[in-house]
Structure 1
Amino acid sequence: MKGMISKAILSLAALIGVTPSPARSLLDYVGQCVPFARQASGIEIYGDAWTWWQQAAGKYPRGHTPRIGAVAVFQKTGRLPLGHVAVVSRVVEDRVLMLTHANWSVQNGERGHAEQDVTLFDVSPANDWSQVRVWFRDSDGLGSTTYPLAGFIYAKGRPARELTSDHPDYVGALIDAYVAR
């Protein structure tokens, strides 16, 4: 009995000295855009991405001005049959921002990976963020497709700390946007 207690104490001491491994980063995420946006923004909405705009009515403030931590809701289209959601990570200027999202570009031969500080360019005639173009890793530049944006859902809390990098490439975002016009 005494030997069993000693082994238990030694085992417990060994466990106490072991530090837990750090939590995985939000940027290690691989999956759909909806769970990623929910985790990154703290906005608790479920269902297909295109439904978020309507679901947010009365639950979360909504609008057409980008803010850090807000979720950009892409409407359903032929190319985006389920829509898309992404979280604003930086506002660069009136028509250019950066977003962090998942399941957009192909990385390591598969879709679903998270991408941080990706350029989003407002190409709407009224400068109201109703039509946008998104940086696309597959072509290493701003994509040629224009997507309709329902607007932005504003989070009530603080977004995930990994939403943006310490040194985002503002100049690159501006070049992506304005050279591709």
Structure 2
Amino acid sequence: MILVRFSLALAASLLALPGTAAAGPSLLDYVGQCVPFARSASGIQIYGDAWTWWDQADGRYRRGHRPRVGAVIVFKQSGQLRLGHVAVVSRVVERRVVMLTHANWSRRDGRRGHAERDVTLYDVSPANDWSQVKVWYRDSNGLGSSIYPVAGFIYGDAPPSAELSGEHPDDVGALIDAYVPGAIASR
């Protein structure tokens, strides 16, 4: 039992190190919290609860309010996100629609923690500044109805994981998710 726990802890710590995801199991096989996943996928070395990343990045990494591939988006604490959330931008579709790769959002087989690649993120902020977003949610097979507050994007210096985006992400599907509510049933 001790050996099993040690092996699991070692595997989790290796996944959390930059550059080790490619050497070990696929980044997309990850099951766990969003923070170690985002750290591994982006190369941004910040620790602690997701909502603290924005302030921790000040003076260490560039920050802003425009999505870029490889940037970490920081969701603020809210009633629904007690610890916030972090995810990595995998693709910019257009000025108000991007795709994320993240962990611990949707449920798979009734459980959270799994990695998801190229899911739709839609800027619904009145000022078009990415301060409020909707996120694709597996259980509803589309954008959820919740609106989440965002602190902004943290831009890393290292190249993000090669597994961040799929070979053929569904840009059109992401646009439909964002701009044609309820159209999922027809896809």
Identity of aligned residues (%): 73
- Offset of residue 97 of structure 1: 0.2
Q: CA deviation at 1:180?
A: 2.5
1:105 Cα offset (Å) = 0.3
Partner of 2:160: 159
Alpha-carbon distance between aligned partners in 2 of 1:175 and 1:26, rounded to the nearest angstrom: 27
Give, in whole Å, the separation in 1 of the partners of 2:101 and 2:156.
Answer: 15
Within 2, Cα distance between the matches of 1:151 and 1:67?
11
- C-alpha distance in 2 between matches for 1:23 and 1:53: 29
**What amino acid sits opposite 1:160 in the alignment?**
S
Q: Distance between the aligned counterparts of 1:169 and 1:108, measured in 2?
A: 23
Q: What amino acid sits opposite 1:153 in the alignment?
A: I
The Cα offsets for residues 109-154 of structure 1, whole Å up to 9 and x where unpaired, read as 2100000000000000110000000000011010000000100000
Q: Which residue of 2 aligns with 1:34?
A: 35
Q: Give the secondary-structure state (helix, strand or coil) at the position aligned to 2:163.
A: helix
Which residue matches 2:124? 123
- 4+ residue stretches of structure 1 with deviation over 6 A? none
- What is the 5 A alignment of 1:44-63? 44-63=45-64
Aligned length: 160
Q: Which runs of 5+ in 2 are unaligned?
A: 1-22, 183-187
1:149 maps to what in 2? Answer: 150
Structure-to-structure mapping, 1:1-181, within 5 angstroms: 23-180=24-181
TM-score by length of 2: 0.84
Instruction: Output one character per residue of 1:15-71: Cα deviation in whole Å (capped at 9) or x when no partner.
Output: xxxxxxx73100000000000000000000000000000000000000000000000
Report the Cα distance in structure 2 between the residues aligned to 1:68 and 1:155, rounded to whole angstroms. Answer: 10
The secondary structure found in structure 2 opposite 1:129 is coil
Aligned equivalents of 2:167, 2:104: Cα separation in 1? 23
Whole-angstrom CA distance in 2 between matches of 1:31 and 1:23: 16
Residue type at the aligned position of 2:49: D
> Which secondary structure does the structure 1 equivalent of 2:178 belong to?
helix
Cα RMSD (Å): 1.0
Unaligned runs of 5+ in 1: 1-21
- d(CA) in 1 for partners of 2:170 and 2:111? 25
Give the residue type in structure 2 aligned to 1:102: A
Rounded to whole Å, the distance in 2 between the matches of 1:47 and 1:23 is 24
- SS of the equivalent of 1:163 reads coil
